[in-house]
Amino acid sequence: MADLRFNNFSFFLVLFASLLVATSCRGYSRNALFIFGGSWNDVGNNNYMESAIKANFLPYGETFFKNATGRASNGRLVPDFIAGFAKLPLIPPYLSPGNSEFTNGLNFASAGAGALTETNVGMTIGLKTQLSFFKYTKKHLNVKLGEAKTKTLLSRALYMFSIGSSDYITFATHKTTEHPSYTREEYVKTVIGNLTDAIQEIHSMGGRKFGFSNLGDVGCSPFLRALNEAKNINGSGCMDEVTVLAELHNKALAKALKKLERKLEGFKYSNFDLFAASKERIDNPSKYGFQEGKVACCGTGPYKGNLTGCCPKTVCDNVNDYLFFDGVHPTEKANYQYAKLMWSGRADKVKPYNLKTLLKKI
């Protein structure tokens, strides 16, 4: 009888301990995901703005969601796949009504947003405003969880950034009117400066793990190829000015991140070479399972690059054949490939850590 009582007591001790562990795991031991940037990361924030660049109509979202969610693709975006790899639910847009559960993270990204406040002003949520939303989120978490648990959650979280393309497209296409006095290098320095200011502010609030995509070869997107052709500019077919700016940005970003790593205590990062990955797929689509790397699936005009021309009547028959869904944005298939490289890619594509390794860092 004594042995039976002891065994029962031991059983309840083990059960109680397992419940404590389970409660801890349900709490804040997972990595939350906080997402910043432009249309490549926007999962629907612009739906809730009066005047905005939107993708809230079909055929956007049709392949996976069966309806338009505000994502500028036929289905999921890179952050959606990263959330899945990290065993998190889809991270909701910050502006979505009724958001009260922030412990898995939030998405602050807005289509058209730049690192500069003046980029697409009035039509989007710039980086500075996205950062103010994050500050409010931290205050909310402090109230809900207490400061100690919030500190743990924020230190373990991943902060994802994909921003800058809109800044450089604006600079290249409106240079003479809106940015007449900047050299390329000065403009890149300003963009990188705003981005690093945001990173440092998040770090001061407890953020330690950051995931970046550098800029893709956006100058060779269908939209800018079409615009280049309309301006009768000779050359590669791409808008070379934007490609040059993207390359300058990417070099400056890599240097800035190394500098921040030396400067900021506990700062760790992952930097995905989207430029190389996108260029490889534009130049050699069949190698990656696509039939077309230069023409969009949905749109009108040369290269189907007209961004306002995507509608159910102008969508392609087989979206999986295409790298680009519309004039700028990748298909869900391409987004999955980019996300997979970010998550578990080798050092020639993502460095110094991929996201899977980064999230294991304390």
Please say if the pLDDT value at position 338 is more than 50. Answer: yes
Query: CB of 290 within 8 A of CB of 323?
Result: yes
Angle at the Cα of 145 (from 143 to 151), degrees rounded to 5?
Answer: 100
Of these residues, 80, 221, 326, 344, which one is catalytic?
Answer: 326
Please say if the pLDDT value at position 5 is more than 60. Answer: no
Average pLDDT over residues 81-102: 93
Active-site residue, 203 included: no
Please say if the pLDDT value at position 351 is more than 90. Answer: yes
Alpha-carbon dihedral sign for residues 254, 255, 257, 262: positive
Give 20: exposed, middle or buried? Use CB within 10 Å, 0-12, 13-18, 19+.
Answer: exposed
Confidence of residue 3 (pLDDT cuts 50, 70, 90): very low
Average pLDDT over residues 138-165: 97
Please say if the pLDDT value at position 245 is more than 50. Answer: yes
Active-site residue, 326 included: yes
Query: Between residues 199 and 100, which one has the greater pLDDT?
Result: 199
Confidence of residue 174 (pLDDT cuts 50, 70, 90): confident
Q: How far apart are CA 44 and CA 96, in angstroms?
A: 8
Residue 230 is predicted with a pLDDT of: 77
Angle at the Cα of 339 (from 161 to 311), degrees rounded to 5?
Answer: 90
Confidence of residue 11 (pLDDT cuts 50, 70, 90): very low
Average pLDDT over residues 9-34: 49
Please say if the pLDDT value at position 304 is more than 80. Answer: yes
Please say if the pLDDT value at position 26 is more than 90. Answer: no
Please say if the pLDDT value at position 355 is more than 80. Answer: yes
Residue 23 is predicted with a pLDDT of: 35
Angle at the Cα of 356 (from 201 to 321), degrees rounded to 5?
Answer: 105
What is the secondary structure of 49-90 as a DSSP string?
A: -SS-----STTTTTTTTSS--S-SSSS--HHHHHHHHTT-PP
Query: CB of 194 within 8 A of CB of 116?
Result: yes
Average pLDDT over residues 330-347: 98
Please say if the pLDDT value at position 100 is more than 80. Answer: no
- Which three-class secondary structure state does DSSP give residue 211? strand
Average pLDDT over residues 128-148: 97
Of these residues, 179, 203, 249, 329, which one is catalytic?
Answer: 329
Query: Between residues 99 and 194, which one has the greater pLDDT?
Result: 194
Of these residues, 39, 166, 270, 278, which one is catalytic?
Answer: 39
Please say if the pLDDT value at position 8 is more than 60. Answer: no
For the chain, give the mean pLDDT: 90
Please say if the pLDDT value at position 236 is more than 90. Answer: no
The residue type found at 199 is I
Q: How far apart are CA 196 and CA 216, in angstroms?
A: 19
